[in-house]
Amino acid sequence: MLLKFTKMHGLGNDFVVVDAVSRKVFFNKQQIERLSDRNWGIGFDQLLVVEPPTQPDMDFRYRIYNSDGSEVEHCGNGARCFAKFVLERGLTNKRVINVETKRGSIQLRVVEDDLVTVDMGMPSFMPADLPFSADPSSNSLYPLKAGSKEYQITPVSVGNPHAVIKVDELFDEEVATAGALIENHDLFPNNVNVGFMKVLTPSEINLRVYERGVGETQACGTGACAAVVAGIKQGWLSPKVTAHLRGGDLHIEWQGEGSPILMTGPAAKVFEGQIYL
């Protein structure tokens, strides 16, 4: 089958987006792994599949696959690319788009040509929602050993599982080594995304994220949301924060318990192409 695709990125976190509304498309694990290969395929962090909705009050259904073929619940950078894709392809003319995901519904708001605000829903610090096979203390901190070092992590779900670590400095080796160990830690049955956060001011952080099934990426939208809400929970951050990631900046707002997380950032098309599956 000849597959038409669009290559996109959100702050360097790159995606292949496929229209499965106009034509039904199905992928198996081996096809996704081959397509994601940066030498033998197209190359991407995640594959985004745009499908018709299954619910009458939704505009689309949105499926997300990691480069290893595993399906995941949520992707903030991908959601922004999704909104830009469906508008540019003429699949909708709405600038407020309601979308089904594996973890529930989200709302995307196109505020400028290259900026999209995503209502990411409400975070959860409940261990069962990640899942996380331990009970953190009352302030959600939990000591976890990775290699020879013990970290204080904040486990949080923002539709997918995250472990957020506040650090004094961001080191390449630590992100790669500790990120891989924590991603696959026994306390996280479904594995976990790992965020390393340096607090600059109450409204500004530097962040690097080791994503499960992918490794470190240039940016992670859900990782930025998780880091900010964890920082607010711990009293380190204010309700509005700029997160500096390797690929650029995201603006995150969370007003506290009972409020949704709002994430604003850019999305860009790189090219369109065709490839045989």
Place 1 in a pLDDT band, splitting at 50, 70 and 90: confident
The residue among 104, 42, 56 whose CA lies nearest residue 79 is: 104
Instruction: Kindly tell me if the per-residue pLDDT of 50 is higher than 90.
Output: yes
Q: What is the pLDDT of residue 265?
A: 96
Among residues 220, 237, 245, 263, the one annotated as catalytic is 220
Q: What is the pLDDT of residue 138?
A: 62
Is 81 among the residues known to form the active site? Answer: no
Is 234 assigned a ligand-binding role in the annotation? no
Domains of the chain by range and CATH? Answer: 2-121+266-276 (3.10.310.10), 127-259 (3.10.310.10)
Is 184 assigned a ligand-binding role in the annotation? no
Is 77 assigned a ligand-binding role in the annotation? yes
Place 118 in a pLDDT band, splitting at 50, 70 and 90: very high
Instruction: Kindly tell me if the per-residue pLDDT of 64 is higher than 70.
Output: yes
Instruction: Kindly tell me if the per-residue pLDDT of 73 is higher than 90.
Output: no
Is 212 assigned a ligand-binding role in the annotation? yes
Q: Mean pLDDT over residues 102-129, rounded?
A: 90
Write out pLDDT tens, residues 174-186: 999 999 999 999 9
Among residues 21, 75, 158, 197, the one annotated as catalytic is 75
Is 220 among the residues known to form the active site? Answer: yes
Q: What is the 3 state secondary structure string of the chain?
A: CEEEEEEEEECCEEEEEEECCCCCCCCCHHHHHHHHCCCCCCCCCEEEEEECCCCCCCCEEEEEEECCCCEECCCHHHHHHHHHHHHHCCCCCCCEEEEEECCEEEEEEEEECCEEEEECCCCECCHHHCCCCCCCCCCCCEEEEECCEEEEEEEEECCCEEEEEECCCCCHHHHHHHHHHHHCCCCCCCCCEEEEEEEEECCEEEEEEEECCCEECCCCHHHHHHHHHHHHHCCCCCCEEEEEECCEEEEEECCCCCCCCEEEEECEEEEEEEEEC
Write out pLDDT tens, residues 6-15: 999 999 999 9
Is 160 assigned a ligand-binding role in the annotation? yes
Is 76 assigned a ligand-binding role in the annotation? yes
Instruction: Kindly tell me if the per-residue pLDDT of 137 is higher than 80.
Output: no
Judge if the upstream peptide bond of residue 131 is cis by omega within 30 degrees of 0.
yes
Tokens representing residue 34 in the block: 């081959």
